[in-house]
Structure 1
């Protein structure tokens, strides 16, 4: 998700595109479809194809995985200039494999194709990739269903977490496939159909885009729990976009519940944490009776990054909160049912 059209932003995009090309040149494709990790887990590679195109992905199975033991699935959607599991990957940035091995869930790492975006961004601002059964949402949904079927996963516990353009796509998945996605986590992302408001922020409100989201959900409409994380110093995705996303999701929940967007936006709880030697953050929780949970984190001193003590890569910050742990704490207790 990108709101800033300044020359600095264009230069950043050019660098991200060059980085993406270098990544694709240097990344060594898997020679085999299956490898074992030192701790007994398994990494498998797969792909899904349809009339909408093709998407490649890697699956991490924890050592405790069994075909007859349905596990949750975490779908980790990378940002621009990244891959799912190659160099500068979502895998290394989030360290979800370690968490999966400890907690017992499957991780799906999809990778964007250069044929769809030369910067390896997910096209979350493009209308053709914001609808069910079209474009990237259809490809991701197909890959998710394929993984659930192949590995005997629990279809009621599919959780999507995305960063940057991948966060925008994660939100889109929650709107286009609420019957498939249990929870959504957005790190440095924005609201559904933000492009409709981008040049008219003073007139197009989050309630307006919430109505668009409700229309897209159609008869499958469901209140999807949402976790939002935003760096206060992010100059690519500005903090106001996280605020709009929270407002949109609250209005969307009200539309699903009653057909009216009016909702109390006063937080249920606000907590500030100041860890020694790390970035302080504020967690704001919304628990509206009859609606899904919405939590948001604003991290002081953090830019356009994913934070965690072992995070690595070009867009990692080890001084911020452990976002992977925060994500799992939020998602693991919220199955679709």
Structure 2
């Protein structure tokens, strides 16, 4: 069933910030749609641009639901980026849609819904409380469905998420590096149950984490097997062939951004370390996570990072 995208107080602010963030895009962002389109290009869709629609598909006999939002600018003849946005533990696709403001992006945005896990709350693969379903297979099916039904740019398919959903976005980067161009993670939960990470290629990674996060501590939680963020980032620096030590930039009084240099194959690794940040999606206006604004907005920063890192040509 379809429903119109509801205007929210944060939406206009996010839109303005996105426009400002993209005034000076990187070289790769100059022509974000100039690429061969997916199988769905040139085919009319029953989805209405500017609205969100609930859809479902069946994977391994399990019905899987998701929200899909078409940008108002959607054109069936113009290959459009695809962004997957995974909600946190116990949350919903609708919550993630409201939280992130990603409907303002010039992209098809899919908000998948997790399956109820062992603790009675929605979850994603790789967490100790997950349902045991194959969420990677579900993600591949979602990408395939979007590419078949819509005009999607296959070189600009991205994964993002918050908390357990952020941890799963990292799992997607580990296992679907041939399909995902880059990933962005907010307050990620990187449980050992995620398994080994051996991506087929260097994957650009953007990460946000608050040092005051009491849910997924910045310094890790040995009892739960959660790594300290510096250790997790060092692992990605090694996978991406980056220089061992990052160059740090203070962008706000409470925000430092380490960026790793000389990564292989034009990959990238960036991290926003928020000294007083809690377990929230950073936003300069109140959002679903917190009534207290932060000093940075994650969504426009994520979009800028995505536009600069398409999937390399074969």
Coarse TM-score class (shorter-chain normalised): 0.7 to 0.9
C-alpha separation in 2, matches of 1:288 and 1:127: 37
C-alpha separation in 2, matches of 1:334 and 1:313: 28
C-alpha separation in 2, matches of 1:287 and 1:316: 36
Q: Which residues of structure 1 form unaligned runs of 5+?
A: 1-31, 197-208, 255-262
Q: State the Cα distance separating 1:160 from its structure 2 match.
A: 0.8
C-alpha separation in 1, matches of 2:63 and 2:157: 21
Aligned to 1:228: 207
Q: State the Cα distance separating 1:48 from its structure 2 match.
A: 2.0
- Inter-CA distance 163–37: structure 2 relative to 1 (3 Å threshold): closer
Q: Which residues of structure 2 form unaligned runs of 5+?
A: 8-48, 220-227
Contact 1:55 1:140 (8 Å CA) reproduced:
no
Tell whether 2:287 aligns with 1:288. Answer: no
Q: State the Cα distance separating 1:46 from its structure 2 match.
A: 1.1
Contact 1:77 1:167 (8 Å CA) reproduced:
yes
Q: Tell me how many residue pairs correspond in the alignment.
A: 262
Tell whether 2:236 aligns with 1:249. Answer: yes
Contact 1:190 1:244 (8 Å CA) reproduced:
no
C-alpha separation in 2, matches of 1:157 and 1:117: 35
Tell whether 2:92 aligns with 1:114. Answer: no
Aligned to 2:67: 58
Aligned to 1:150: 149
C-alpha separation in 2, matches of 1:163 and 1:106: 19
- Inter-CA distance 229–289: structure 2 relative to 1 (3 Å threshold): closer
The answer to which of 313-322 and 67-76 deviates more is: 313-322
| Higher normalized helix content (fraction of residues) | 1
- Taking the TM superposition and a 5 Å limit, the aligned residue runs for 1:1-337 are 32=1, 34-37=2-5, 41-51=50-60, 53-85=62-94, 89-98=95-104, 100=105, 104-114=106-116, 118-126=120-128, 135-191=134-190, 194-195=192-193, 212-214=196-198, 217=199, 221-240=200-219, 241-254=228-241, 264-267=243-246, 269-274=247-252, 280-291=254-265, 292-314=267-289, 317-337=292-312
Structure 2 residue matching 1:335: 3-state secondary structure: coil
Contact 2:125 2:134 (8 Å CA) reproduced:
no
- Inter-CA distance 302–126: structure 2 relative to 1 (3 Å threshold): same
